């Protein structure tokens, strides 16, 4: 019975323990290692005793959290009671539930369990309810029960609409599975290398006082000073290692990536070590975003994202990523199959030629401002910063050439580039606000900027097309405002 109070699996004690340990371990290790480096004699036996007492306290607290956490579904509400010292109660009406996400980390998989997250439209950045460790069949029962109750509530409110939906839902499911080639391209052309380098820099800064780098470097000073080539080799090896680690991480993250369109929902699942599954109701989809970084654009691949309202998964990529990497032509066909109301137009209204100088100016001036002091104070190596100028010219020109817009019935398409090329597809009814503006210099060239805003699960989506014809900007505004007033 769903109305009976239930506890999580006892494995949640381990999850609670490791979570507390993770939050506590890094500062304590830094504290212990610093003391060891400064004065080994002061690192006494009592420090280990204190550490053991803290671990024991974590175990006790974890068990108490498990004992005090209960859940049940009663009177069309998902009810949670928790708290070691102060008991808190959270009741979530079933009709407010938007998505139910199921995932399995390493600990859950060891015990054959899953984590269930219940998300609502007002859930902000976090899930409304999280059941960290339950059996998979229990998660299936909860999902099935909630879906049944939601369907029953809808039937009571709008019986005729539900009958029509049941007739529509006889269509077969659509399925997309990411190929090995697409997975390799996604991993090798991702921005994950930046995360690896950032993590490495953070780790280096934490252990800088513990490891005697100066002594190590002194031992190899004569070798290193012999040639600048050594530095280049070390940097190349470091970047290659970071790239390989990035590829491995991305392949583990997006392994078995599958998208299924079932009835009025899109189910996205992926992962090897940590399996994740997200269900996105089609009626909550606000727009589609197509991204192309320079490397993927040269190879003819794109990434397709969903912009959806409601939900609050901490992993933004999982909740919005529809197709990680697919051929551009294939992406257009897939969008037509899964979301036929959206169309990626290949022919766009371009920007006027007089907008080119403004795009070049915005991209070249920062490079000039950076290269001047670098070239003066870091001569001769600072002269390499002059390369920012041709790079800026290239980015400015590509930004101008790629930019454009199109209107097809009730859909607006904006295409623009910062570093990556972005194509934004949105229906009129999903646009929360549309603004047309012109700066002093834009007015002199009869140009304007169009900015749109839509709802998303996080901070909202804002996209703008800069320096299009002023008349075209007014045309877009007229398209948006015509039915809004009627």
Mind listing the pLDDT tens digit for each residue in 62-93? 999 999 899 988 878 888 888 887 677 777 77
The 10s digit of each residue's pLDDT in 187-223 is 777 765 544 445 454 444 444 444 444 554 455 555 5
Give residue-wise pLDDT tens across range 282-332: 888 899 999 998 888 888 999 999 988 754 444 444 447 899 999 988 999
What pLDDT, on the 0 to 100 scale, is given for residue 230?
66
pLDDT digit string (tens) for 379-424? 888 888 899 999 999 999 999 999 999 999 899 999 999 889 999 9
In this structure, what DSSP letter does residue 173 have? Answer: P
Instruction: Report the share of the chain in percent with pLDDT over 70.
Output: 78
Q: What global pTM score does this model have?
A: 0.64
Q: What is the pLDDT of residues 401-412, one digit of tens each?
A: 999 999 998 999
CA angle, residues 67, 70, 74, in degrees to nearest 5: 160
Nearest CA-CA partner of 51 in 30, 32, 23 = 32
Please report the sign of the dihedral spanned by the C-alpha atoms of residue 47, residue 48, residue 52, residue 58: positive
Question: d(Cα 95, Cα 78) in Å, to the nearest integer?
Answer: 10
Adjacency order of strands within the sheet including 88-93: 70-74, 77-82, 88-93
Using CB atoms within 10 Å of the CB of residue 399, give its burial: 0 to 12 exposed, 13 to 18 middle, 19+ buried: buried
Which tokens go with 438?
A: 């012109």
């Amino acid at each position: 019975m769903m109305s009976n109070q239930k506890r999580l699996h006892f494995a949640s004690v381990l999850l609670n323990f490791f979570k507390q340990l993770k939050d506590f371990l890094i500062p304590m290790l830094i504290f212990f290692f610093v003391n060891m480096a400064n004065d080994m004699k002061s690192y006494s036996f009592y420090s280990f005793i204190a550490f053991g007492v803290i671990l024991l306290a974590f175990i006790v607290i974890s068990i108490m959290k498990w004992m005090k956490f209960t859940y049940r579904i009663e009177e069309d509400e998902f009810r949670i009671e928790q708290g070691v010292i102060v008991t808190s109660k959270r009741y979530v009406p079933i009709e407010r539930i938007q998505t139910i996400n199921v995932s399995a980390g390493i600990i859950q998989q060891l015990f054959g369990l899953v984590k269930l997250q219940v998300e609502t439209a007002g859930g902000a950045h976090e899930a409304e309810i999280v059941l960290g460790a339950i059996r998979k069949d229990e998660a299936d029962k909860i999902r099935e029960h909630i879906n049944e109750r939601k369907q029953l509530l809808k039937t009571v409110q709008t019986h005729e609409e539900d009958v029509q939906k049941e007739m529509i839902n006889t269509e077969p499911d659509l399925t997309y599975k990411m190929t090995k080639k697409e997975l390799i391209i996604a991993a090798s052309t991702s921005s994950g290398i930046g995360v690896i380098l950032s993590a490495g820099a953070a780790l280096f800064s934490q252990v800088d006082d513990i490891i005697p780098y100066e002594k190590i470097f002194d031992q190899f000073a004569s070798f290193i000073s012999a040639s600048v080539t050594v530095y280049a080799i070390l940097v190349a090896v470091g970047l290659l290692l970071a790239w390989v680690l990035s590829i491995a991480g991305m392949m583990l993250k997006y392994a078995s990536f599958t998208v299924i369109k079932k009835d009025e929902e899109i189910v996205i699942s992926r992962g090897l070590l940590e399996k994740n599954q997200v269900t996105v109701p089609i009626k909550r989809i606000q727009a589609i975003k197509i991204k192309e970084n320079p490397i993927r654009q040269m190879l003819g691949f794109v990434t397709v994202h969903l912009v959806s309202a409601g939900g609050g998964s901490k992993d933004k990529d999982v909740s919005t990523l529809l197709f990680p990497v697919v051929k551009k032509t294939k992406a257009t066909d897939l969008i037509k199959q899964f979301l036929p109301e959206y169309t990626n137009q290949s022919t766009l209204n371009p920007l006027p030629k007089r907008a080119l100088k403004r795009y070049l100016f915005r991209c070249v001036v920062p490079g000039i401002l950076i290269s001047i002091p670098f070239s003066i104070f870091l001569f001769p190596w600072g002269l390499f910063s002059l390369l920012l100028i041709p790079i800026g010219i290239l980015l400015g020109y590509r930004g101008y050439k790629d930019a454009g817009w199109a209107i097809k019935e009730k859909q607006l398409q904006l295409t623009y580039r910062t570093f990556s090329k972005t194509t934004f597809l949105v229906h009129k009814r999903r646009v929360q606000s549309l603004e047309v503006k012109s700066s002093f210099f834009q007015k002199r060239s009869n140009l304007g900027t169009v900015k749109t805003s839509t709802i998303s699960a996080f901070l909202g989506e804002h996209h703008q097309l800069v320096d299009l014809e002023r008349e075209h900007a007014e045309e877009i505004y007229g398209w948006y405002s015509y039915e809004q007033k009627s």
